[in-house]
Structure 1
């Protein structure tokens, strides 16, 4: 006799029956970050290379729509499963991903700005408040002490270094207080980036390797330097040698972590969206730097990064939609 087995249709039915917003991960907001970064990169490509404007605007609209959908889903989780949200927020690793919500809001302010300046200013202000609040919580938790060093993972960078996204998106804000907020945000983000980067590298060197499911988060190590480049150049109004140093170290870190991240042995899950914004920040930095230097090799590098970013976002989007439709994204298992 053959042992009974589940058919593909019954497996899908089982996954749908296990559907629960309780398992909707907060790190899915990283998808909004990646898509927003992709939209901003295509906008730069339109301005400097004459790429079709519709690409960047369409991706930006998609990012806004995705943010609304995930926000509705996570609010449902908060209402129906407040304990799950509480546990996620206080988790030593997962709690860091609440920073993706604040960063998403900041980036969406830049997406909206060409269409409605007033709305952009309001969204950015909300993002600033949320970012500083989460950064304060994150640093306060660190200073309590007695933290297991094995919890020092790349995700720790998100809530503190998120402040660097304030000057990235707030360069044109007309409010009288915006310039000082940008300076403060840059100061907090820059110093915390150095502190956390050292802590995380020390953990990666002296402790066991990251679990396979957390491998994509290694790409976050690129973010402080790529985002730092964008923040710094916005603050000083141009590109100098220090900005170039930030760009090239971001590029170096990408070369180091990419072979570790892009391996077929790492199964797909929502955690893969962690690669989106760091790669988007690097592509944006490369486009700005290539435009400044006007060098053919740098333009080729920028286009390669833009192509890789676009392909990665497309694959992640398809896999995520498949996971959502099959129900696996909401069952706590790999999608």
Structure 2
């Protein structure tokens, strides 16, 4: 019986999807959003800290599990990485590490800095590999999905998490990350938008990834304002377009008929980034309409992630999450 259970665990481990690391991104973003809520509205600080602790725990569990998959089923990992769509989700690992550096910063500056440097190196390396692959292999237009934005635009998160780093070279690294992520966002966004307008719709299981389209604007706002240490007209444009696009896509993504799967975690961090941007912008403008937008968006984000989290656990215990 014990041998059968062990064999079953090993067989399901090979189907552990890398895009589950998107859950760490989303939950980390939710934790940071609740920290902003504490500063702006005086909500309980413990809420954000507990959510942040959950993000750390999930990352540790997923990291151990995926490393086991790498050693036991290396060919499965290689196939996943080479996939023209799924391979982009390896960027979620690096982005998750960057965001966790912000989550743990209040507790250990030294550890936060180590985690940020690790995430920065990994993000740049992955961005180089993915972009190099895109430019050196013929790409099918139907493969131009929002997932393309993840590895390249992930470099924007270097500045999002690195705005307070004390290193003398961190400012230049933040600028580098913003430059790479910003230009790639512009190029890929146009390509993906054109594909969505002029070609067949994406498969239903990839529909939640449409929310990734708002990431360059929410994340771009946070990265840009961290670099210039202010909120100017360009930052306002990034925020408002991200908010507008998020509202447009919300109705396309959240439909009952869409099947549930790990791809739903793709909605989490893009939404969280816009919510955090809403809080930062509301704190700058200091008017009740912007504060209301921040509060409502945080409530929506919390409900959405709570539902996705519970459904993920249900699918896991039913044995439907880790299967071919």
Q: Does 1:183 align with 2:178?
A: no
**Contact between 1:19 and 1:328, CA under 8 Å: does it hold in 2?**
no
Equivalent in the alignment of 2:241: 249
Structure 1 CA distance, aligned partners of 2:108 and 2:260?
37
Q: Please list, as runs of the form range in 1=range in 2, the aligned pairs for 1:84-103 lying within 5 A after superposition.
A: 84-103=76-95
Instruction: Say whether 1:319 aligns with 2:317.
Output: no
Q: Which residue of 1 aligns with 2:288?
A: 296
Is 1:43 aligned with 2:35?
yes
2:15 to 2, 14, 23: 23
- Cα deviation for residue 206 of structure 1 reads 1.3
Query: Which segment is superposed worse, 138-147 or 51-60?
Result: 138-147
Match of 1:168 among 160, 165, 172: 160
Aligned twin of 1:105: 97
Q: Aligned-residue CA RMSD in angstroms? A: 1.3
Residue 267 of structure 2: which of 242, 250, 275 is its match? 275
Question: Which of 50, 54, 57 lines up with 1:58 in the alignment?
Answer: 50
Aligned partners of 1:170 and 1:266: how far apart in 2? 37
Structure 2: gaps spanning 5 or more residues: none
Distance 1:18 1:65 in 2: 22
Q: Give yes or no for contact 1:37–1:277 (8 Å, CA) kept in 2.
A: yes
In structure 2, distance between residues paired with 1:17 and 1:199: 40
TM-score (norm: length of structure 2): 0.96
SS of the residue corresponding to residue 165 of structure 2 reads: coil
Q: Rg: which structure is higher?
A: 1
In structure 2, C-alpha distance between the alignment counterparts of 1:253 and 1:271, rounded to whole Å: 20
Distance 1:75 1:145, change over 3 A: closer
Corresponding residue of 1:147: 139
After superposition, the C-alpha distances for 1:216-265 in whole angstroms (9 at most, x for unaligned) are: 00000000001000001101101111100000110111121111100001
Structure 1 runs of 4+ with >6 Å offset: none
Tell me if 1:70 matches 2:62: yes
> Which position in structure 2 is the counterpart of 1:7?
none
Partners of 1:86 and 1:251 in 2: CA distance: 37
Q: Secondary structure at the match of 1:239?
A: coil
Cα distance, 1:18 vs structure 2: 9.6
Q: CA deviation at 1:19?
A: 5.5
By how many angstroms is 1:145 displaced?
3.9
Total equivalences in the alignment: 318
Q: Which residue is equivalent to 1:192?
A: 184
